[in-house]
Structure 1
Amino acid sequence: MSRLIQILSHLLLVLFSLLPGSLSAQYFLNGAAVQTNDSCFQLTSETLFEVGSIWFPEKIDLRNSFDLVMDMFFGCSDTQGADGIVFGLQPVSASVGEAGEGLGIGGVSPALGVEFDTFQNTNRNDPTFDHVAIMANGSVTHSGPNNLAGPVQASATAANIENCRFMPLRVTWDAPAQTLKVYFDCSLRLEYTGDIINDIFGGDPFVFYGFAAATGGLFNRQEVCFRFNSLLKQLEDVTMCPGGQVLLDVFGGDRYEWTPVAGLDDPTAPSVIASPDTTTVYTVSIFDACGIPLLDTVRIAVEGDSAFVKLGPDTTICPQDFLLFDVSTPTAVYEWSDPTLSGPVISASEIGIYEVTVTRQDIICEASDRIEIDHLPVPDFDLGPTDTTLCRGDLLELTAVFELGDPFFEDGRPFDTLYISRPGRYRAYVEHPCGTLTDQVNVIFENCHQVYLPTAFSPDGDGVNDRWFPQDGGDVVTIHRLSIYDRWGGQMYEASELPTNAPSLGWDGLLNGEPMPAGTYIWVLDASYRDGSRTVEQGDFVLVR
């Protein structure tokens, strides 16, 4: 249990150290515990007999109230899952307790734990449902004086909390009332009132806090993510120069309400710019997923001479451009959010958020501002393929639609759609805030109605020019009918749906197996072409013997 609390403490501190005004510390991680992101820790994996804990390394004072909000994940397996997670307080060390049914806190004493148990151990008097209880001195058995409250069903609406989703947990300690409350899944589940400083911790108010979890013969992946911690103040009091402004950042809520609203740019945002005319105490209500407010306050004192800092509104720039910021103030030091930037004058060309705090050394006041820079999008300006070949008589439709400007030709004529019927190079332009964009197409027109019918052939069996057949380069789509006649009108040959460039299907100079005499013959061709036309044409050729 001691180790668990210490690890939890460390986790919370790491999370808040990444945010403005946070403390700087490290969480102690023990056993199987690993940090998965800025605010989340996996206490156990899907492995048998694991123990993991996280503890904050600095003790807290139980004579002061606190409020903690977390998201809890108990795994995805119900009947084959185990064992559970404990939130703990203990003054001993950043250690870890027993595995399995010990939940990582078993045997840690003195201690106070809020136990979420997901497996029924009949020897511990566990109920059949997943339950929560408040226990003392590393006890995990629901009998005797160490069972302070519960067990009750952990969720007010379901017997199982190993449901493969994160569920909200809130633990509050009201020091004057000596009352510990446990809210889970947006419902108050347990409440215990007692002098825990004297009765449990022997009069010592200083304890570690944290989380522990364990698996045994069954297992689950068990995690905790931190959303709000009143022990780590998010807002630090500040002295602001007249006419200046400061940035106030909080996190961990689903919605926010700031009061008073005077001097705030957005009283419902987690990050606000405050520019009060006079010294003001602001209170922010940070509403958790259950709609319960958590409070933090900040006092902004307005003193000294003017030190106005203004970076300007959020903006967009062209990718090749930059912005120059000058926040020079007498006797001041400058802190930019990007540690590679320094001094009062910077050049900004990369996209992102730029934030600066200017602190006057002579009067000890500060002002701050932030700006977000993005690149102005430059879409492609495309007329189509660079080289386009069409059939004679066709029209090429060029459409130039550009949402940021009106396209025009190189001779200055504007257009949206242009129909091209003559060959040539066509170039269009469009004016964009980041420069002039251009594109061009080269248009070629060709005859798409070409077929070659030989003027002579010699069917003498020498393997050269033995058959008469139609040939093309791809213009013929279909030969509907091809007929050949002698000069007296006698039909020598006829074919339908004949392909081009097929010698074996052409006329071999025979009729009914008999060779036809040398002379002139007439052909009639009914065909469709690539340009969409269909024509019936005729001509003649010579059969040579």
Structure 2
Amino acid sequence: MLRKILFSLLLVAALPLGLAAQYFLNGSAVQTNDSCFQLTSQRMFDVGSIWYPEKVDLRRSFDLVMDIFFGCSDADGADGVVFGLQPISASVGQAGEGLGIGGVRPALGVEFDTYENTNRLDPVFDHVAIMANGSVTHSGPDNLAGPVQASERSANIETCRFIPLRVTWDAPAQTLRVYFDCSLRLEYTGDIVNEIFGGDPFVFYGFAAATGGLFNRQEVCFRFNSFLKQLEDVTMCPGGQVLLDVRGGERYEWSPAAGLDDPTAPSVTAAPDTTTVYTVRIFDACGIPLVDTVRITVEGDSAFVKLGPDTSICPADFISFDVTTPTAIYQWANPELAGPRVSVNAPGTYEVTVTRQDIICEASDRVVIDHLPVPILDLGPPDTTLCLGELLRISPQNDVGQPVLDFNDGLPFDTLYISRPGRYRAFVDDPCGLVFDQIDVDFINCREIYLPTAFSPNGDGINDQWFPQDGGDVVLIHRLSVFNRWGEQVFEAFDLAPNDPGVGWDGRFNGRELPSGTYVWTLEASFIDGGRGIREGSVVLVR
């Protein structure tokens, strides 16, 4: 049975906000925040993909780091992951066992497969393989490396949690490496430009995903992308300072340390005396470093008066400025201020001119002060009820952009997936105070169906028919069968609605009344939660 529909991944950098919008989203793919995308939902036959719209040059090395979510269903889930390189188009590829890369030639794909298709020579465990030219069968020359177990720790990767994934291409060494859950799982060395892409080094990169008869929610969040440089070279005046910001790591190491306020922070203030090239090593969740560089050129006139950058403060707070300079006089554009040291609270623009009397020179600076808005945190409706087996996804709405923190461990999160009942609380540690919100979640069984354990078809109008009954959980009963003690089928019906005596069993077979005794039944039905299941049991026929 062909149930493998593509599950693929998507590639976006965990860089400044808005960069994710550079990617083409197709089909069911949606952006959930600045660095996360949902490719498919918990529905059958969803298809979605994302591709970078400009080709990249494989003669240059790249490094991609992300967290990937394969869903929560193992035996009932599907299907797999492919990171793709291909020069043909930026669109959705073949579904089914093609995993979104099937039929694309030339192509190279890193396949993460979570469903066993024996006709494709899949192993029983969730696996990773490197494939060429749209092949998803593990034989022949297009199976470049693998398959091997995807996770070093477990045969299953549909674990209802985000898992670290890293893909690197070492262009000089012509080596592709795949790190999964902090372990190097697979690598391939080969001249892919000439052997796969016919000498053309320019390709699209991206991912695609889909569901079929089995499905899982499939998402990816991106932390680092070397295709999109984080640090841009800058020029500053002597005595000035610039801010350097990077993201996507668990810890950071800047060098040289001279001129930096904190060489271990993701955001540093740099004030070098001379032109300097800074290097930052960004360590991911697995402790593997990524590297970026920036050149700060120092030239021009000195600036010895600094009020600092534009900023926002809480309505009840004050901010102080100190522009003390030897043998100087101070002239503020704001008539209420005087002297080298002032404190202000009201929003507005503040400007000062400092004149040094000893060397007869002056300098000016200005800063804009604004008030921080009152934060509002919204987790959604306060009371939510779902079906058992469903997953509630909460992406907190926070109008001021502060990190939302889990109440229990104090750690920040963008998205929360809830599968158990309870009260879930979060807060924003805003500079102006803590803001809380909570949501109560309950789960109910949406697959309840009842069939009587006995009935007496004696024509008295009571329990003469045996039929399925429910309280609204059943969409359709696809098949209902009854067997006698020797395994002979004595009743069968298709496409039934529950609670209808007219479609039930009257205790007859071929118009003949059957004797009293115990009979076995099986039933297959679709339920309101989108699932489909089989039920079995027995019924006593009483004469």
CA distance in structure 1 between the aligned counterparts of 2:142 and 2:351, rounded to whole angstroms: 61
Alignment deviations for residues 213-266 of structure 1 (CA, whole Å, 9 cap, x no partner) = 222221111111100011110000101110000010000111111111111111
Report the equivalent of 2:257. 261
Alignment deviations for residues 82-120 of structure 1 (CA, whole Å, 9 cap, x no partner) = 011111111111111122222111111111100000000
Are 1:166 and 2:165 an aligned pair? no
Name the CA shift for 1:112/1:352 in 2 (closer, same or farther; >3 Å): farther
CA contact (8 A) 2:15 2:224 kept: no
Of 26, 29, 36, 1:30 maps to 26
Percent sequence identity over matched residues? Answer: 74
CA distance in structure 1 between the aligned counterparts of 2:430 and 2:45, rounded to whole angstroms: 51
Name the CA shift for 1:152/1:328 in 2 (closer, same or farther; >3 Å): farther
Report the equivalent of 2:308. 311
Are 1:56 and 2:78 an aligned pair? no
Q: Which amino acid aligns with 1:188?
A: L
CA distance in structure 2 between the aligned counterparts of 1:326 and 1:4, rounded to whole angstroms: 55
1:23-422 alignment, distance < 5 Å: 26-307=22-303, 309-311=306-308, 318=316, 321-322=345-346, 326=350, 344-350=366-372, 374-375=431-432
Name the CA shift for 1:160/1:373 in 2 (closer, same or farther; >3 Å): closer
CA distance in structure 1 between the aligned counterparts of 2:114 and 2:371, rounded to whole angstroms: 54
CA distance in structure 1 between the aligned counterparts of 2:21 and 2:302, rounded to whole angstroms: 35
Q: Which amino acid aligns with 2:97?
A: E
Unpaired segments ≥5 residues, structure 1:
331-342, 355-371, 378-545
Report the equivalent of 1:16. 15
CA distance in structure 2 between the aligned counterparts of 1:79 and 1:215, rounded to whole angstroms: 14
SS at match of 1:16: coil
CA distance in structure 1 between the aligned counterparts of 2:158 and 2:216, rounded to whole angstroms: 8
Name the CA shift for 1:111/1:329 in 2 (closer, same or farther; >3 Å): farther
Matched positions, count: 339
CA contact (8 A) 1:183 1:189 kept: yes
CA RMSD of aligned residues (A): 3.1
SS at match of 2:286: coil
1:384-533 alignment, distance < 5 Å: none
Q: Which amino acid aligns with 1:243?
A: G
CA contact (8 A) 1:314 1:373 kept: no
CA contact (8 A) 2:193 2:200 kept: yes
CA distance in structure 2 between the aligned counterparts of 1:51 and 1:316, rounded to whole angstroms: 46
Task: Tell me the TM-score normalized by structure 1.
Answer: 0.58
Unpaired segments ≥5 residues, structure 2:
1-5, 319-344, 355-364, 376-399, 401-428, 435-543
Bigger Rg, structure 1 or 2: 1
CA distance in structure 1 between the aligned counterparts of 2:272 and 2:149, rounded to whole angstroms: 49
CA distance in structure 1 between the aligned counterparts of 2:302 and 2:246, rounded to whole angstroms: 27
Report the equivalent of 1:334. none
Name the CA shift for 1:262/1:140 in 2 (closer, same or farther; >3 Å): same
**Higher mean C-alpha displacement, 48-57 vs 236-245:** 48-57
CA contact (8 A) 1:264 1:272 kept: yes
Post-superposition shift, 1:350? 3.1
Post-superposition shift, 1:318? 2.0
CA distance in structure 2 between the aligned counterparts of 1:238 and 1:344, rounded to whole angstroms: 21
CA distance in structure 2 between the aligned counterparts of 1:37 and 1:279, rounded to whole angstroms: 37
Name the CA shift for 1:243/1:169 in 2 (closer, same or farther; >3 Å): same
SS at match of 2:119: helix
